[in-house]
Amino acid sequence: MNRYKWIFLFFFIIIQGCAPRSDKNKTLSPPADTEWVTVGIKLPAGIEALPLNVLYRSDICQRAQYNSAGEKEYISGFNPNAVVLKQQGSSDIYQTKIALNGGGSCQWQLSEVWMSIRYKKILNTDSDFKTIPSHKLILIFNGHNFRPPELIRNLIKNEKIELNYYPVFINNEFSNEKKIILFNSWDRSQYILVNNEKNILFTPIFHKDNITKINIPKELGSANIIYYSDGTIEKINSSRPNYNKLKSLN
Local confidence band at 6 (pLDDT 50, 70, 90 cut-offs) = very low
Residue 27 and residue 64: Cα distance in Å, rounded? 19
pLDDT confidence of 145, banded at 50, 70, 90?
A: low
Do 31 and 108 form a contact (C-beta atoms < 8 A)?
no
103 backbone φψ class: left, alpha, beta (φ>0; ψ -120 to 50): left
**Letter string b/e over residues 25-49, b meaning 16 or more CB atoms within 10 A of that residue's CB:** ebeeebeeeeeebebbbbbbebbeb
Structural domain span for residue 58: 2-248
pLDDT of residue 124: 60
Mean pLDDT of the chain: 87
| pLDDT tops 50 at residue 17 | no
pLDDT at residue 111 above 80?
A: yes
What pLDDT, on the 0 to 100 scale, is given for residue 127? Answer: 76
Tell me how far CA of residue 34 lies from CA of 117, 157, 197, in angstroms.
Answer: 29, 24, 15
Average pLDDT over residues 98-121: 94
Domain count, the chain: 1
Task: Grade residue 12 by pLDDT with cuts at 50, 70 and 90.
Answer: very low
pLDDT of residue 22: 67
What is the pTM assigned to this prediction?
A: 0.84
Q: Are the beta carbons of 50 and 134 closer than 8 angstroms?
A: no
Taking alpha carbons only, the member of 67, 99, 75 closest to residue 22 is: 75
The fraction of the chain above a pLDDT of 90, given in percent, is 65
Question: pLDDT tens, 22-53?
Answer: 667 788 999 999 999 999 999 999 999 999 99
Residues 178-236: tens digit of each pLDDT: 999 999 988 889 999 998 899 999 999 999 999 999 999 998 888 999 999 999 999 99
Predicted local confidence at residue 146, as pLDDT: 66
**Rounded to whole angstroms, how far apart are CA atoms 250 and 241?**
15
User: Which residues make beta-bridge pairs with 74?
Assistant: 64
Cβ neighbours of 106 (radius 10 Å): 25
Spell 156-191 as b/e; 16+ CB within 10 A means b.
beeeebebbbbbbbbbbeeeeeeebbbbbeeeebbb
